[in-house]
């Protein structure tokens, strides 16, 4: 496979991207289609908790939320995965065993990525050993911004190797990459280095996921697919809080990559509060009554 020269910049039409996104936001989805999309979006959620205060109890609660999102309605689908720190992976894997819900773990000195290469590899291996089947890594933004693209490429390839059978999601932290061209370049590097998913953000800095940035990344995925026939997944993370925005993302994916990407295997939302808003909207669609967070479990 020909790896492109990353010193060459793929131009991105900033105005074009933003206007295209504005179009997606005007799409209106109603009735059965809306219910379908809401349920699909829920199945795509990576329920996330990445706080220094994540106790085993908090993680346990989140796992139950993943398996039984809304006990009052057993027909509601489960989320795609739980995303936790490596030292909580074992617990999550034990609870979720047999449920079909994936256990994702951030690793590689999340969120800054400023550890030594050895310790970062060690962390990936540890998380996989503990039972994680998806690893969310962060790239070295300092190296990328310095123009050391080979360094970034090599570190991703190294982590991919350390992952073994586990899927690798590469977090670009687009909020630190400054331009759409950089986002595109980082996406290309990650994809060609072996990422199974590319992911916008850690959720620790603002701005996190935005629709224009996601669209630029989707273009990178599309170009790669057209060139090689391989499908890479996409995960916007951070800042997606309401169902309406989630539906706009689905529209964007459908109209950019096609219906083939509308599956939890290729598209995820990294979020925590989104799940409850999706649930509230699902129940609203079913009952016709607007819902209150008072009647939904916190997760």
Partner 1 sequence: MSNRLNVLKTCKLYIGGKFSRSESEHYFQALDKKQKPLANLCRGSRKDLRNAIQAARKAQAGWAGRTAYNRGQILYRMAEMLEGRRDQFVAELENAAVTRRRAESEVELAIDRLVHYAGWTDKYPALFSSVNPVASPHFNFSIPEPTGVVGIVAPDDNALIGLVSLIAPVIAGGNTCVVVSSEKHGSIACTLAEVIHSSDVPGGVVNVLTGFRAELVSHLAGHMDVNSVLSAANDPEQKKIIQENAHLNVKRVHFYDATDWMKEQAQSPYYIMDFQEIKTTWHPVGT
Residues forming the active site: 136, 199, 235
Whether residue 80 contacts residue 235, with contact meaning beta carbons closer than 8 Å, is answered with: no
The full 3-state SS of 116-151, as one line of letters, equals: CHHHHHHHHHHHHHHCCCEEEEECCHHHHHHCCHHH
Whole-angstrom CA distances from 261 to 62, 234, 256 are 26, 9, 9
Is residue 259 classed as helix, strand or coil in its secondary structure? helix
Nearer to partner 1, 20 or 34 (CB): 34
- Residue 161, token pair as written in the block: 């190797």
User: How near is the Cβ of 216 to partner 1 at its closest, in Å?
Assistant: 31
- Residue 296, token pair as written in the block: 């939904």
Kindly give the residue spans of alpha helices, DSSP state H, lying in the chain: 14-24, 31-43, 56-67, 89-96, 117-130, 141-146, 149-163, 180-193, 211-228, 243-257, 274-287
Contacts with partner 1 by CB under 8 A lie at 288-295
User: How near is the Cβ of 275 to partner 1 at its closest, in Å?
Assistant: 18
User: How near is the Cβ of 292 to partner 1 at its closest, in Å?
Assistant: 4
User: How near is the Cβ of 243 to partner 1 at its closest, in Å?
Assistant: 13
Instruction: Round to whole Å and give the CA distance between 201 and 237.
Output: 6
Instruction: Round to whole Å and give the CA distance between 6 and 272.
Output: 34
Nearer to partner 1, 136 or 277 (CB): 277
User: How near is the Cβ of 287 to partner 1 at its closest, in Å?
Assistant: 8
| Best CA proximity match to 217, nearest among 175, 180, 192, 167 | 180
Instruction: Round to whole Å and give the CA distance between 286 and 282.
Output: 6
Count of residues in the chain: 299
Nearer to partner 1, 267 or 296 (CB): 296
Nearer to partner 1, 112 or 291 (CB): 291
For 44, list phi and psi in degrees, rounded to 5. -100, 0
Nearer to partner 1, 5 or 294 (CB): 294
Whether residue 148 contacts residue 155, with contact meaning beta carbons closer than 8 Å, is answered with: no
User: How near is the Cβ of 30 to partner 1 at its closest, in Å?
Assistant: 13
Nearer to partner 1, 174 or 281 (CB): 281
């Amino acid at each position: 496979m020909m790896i492109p020269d990353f010193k060459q910049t793929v131009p991105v039409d900033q105005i074009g991207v933003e206007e295209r996104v504005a179009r997606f936001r005007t799409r209106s989805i109603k009735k059965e289609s809306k219910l379908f999309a809401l349920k699909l979006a829920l199945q795509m959620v990576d329920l996330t908790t990445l706080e220094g205060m994540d106790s085993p109890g908090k993680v346990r609660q989140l796992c139950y939320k993943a398996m039984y999102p809304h006990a009052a309605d057993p027909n509601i689908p489960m989320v795609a995965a739980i995303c936790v720190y490596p030292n909580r992976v074992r617990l999550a894997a034990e609870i979720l065993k047999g449920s079909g819900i994936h256990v994702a773990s951030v690793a590689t000195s999340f969120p800054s990525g400023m550890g030594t290469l050895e310790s970062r590899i060690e962390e990936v291996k540890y998380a996989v050993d503990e039972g994680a089947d998806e690893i969310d890594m962060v790239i070295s933004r300092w190296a990328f911004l310095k123009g050391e693209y080979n360094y970034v490429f090599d570190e991703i390839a190294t982590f991919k190797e350390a992952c073994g059978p586990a899927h690798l999601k590469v977090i670009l932290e687009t909020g630190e990459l400054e331009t759409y061209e950089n986002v595109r370049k980082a996406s290309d590097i990650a994809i060609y280095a072996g990422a199974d998913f590319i992911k916008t953000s850690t959720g620790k800095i603002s701005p996190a996921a935005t629709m224009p940035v996601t669209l630029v990344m989707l273009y990178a995925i599309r170009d790669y697919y057209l060139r090689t026939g391989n499908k890479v997944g996409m995960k916007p993370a951070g800042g997606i809080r309401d169902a309406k925005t989630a539906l706009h993302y689905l529209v964007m994916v459908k109209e950019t990559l096609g219906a083939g990407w509308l599956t939890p295997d290729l598209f995820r939302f990294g979020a925590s509060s989104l799940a409850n808003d999706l649930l509230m909207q699902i129940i609203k669609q079913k009952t016709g009554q607007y819902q209150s967070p008072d009647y939904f479990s916190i997760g």
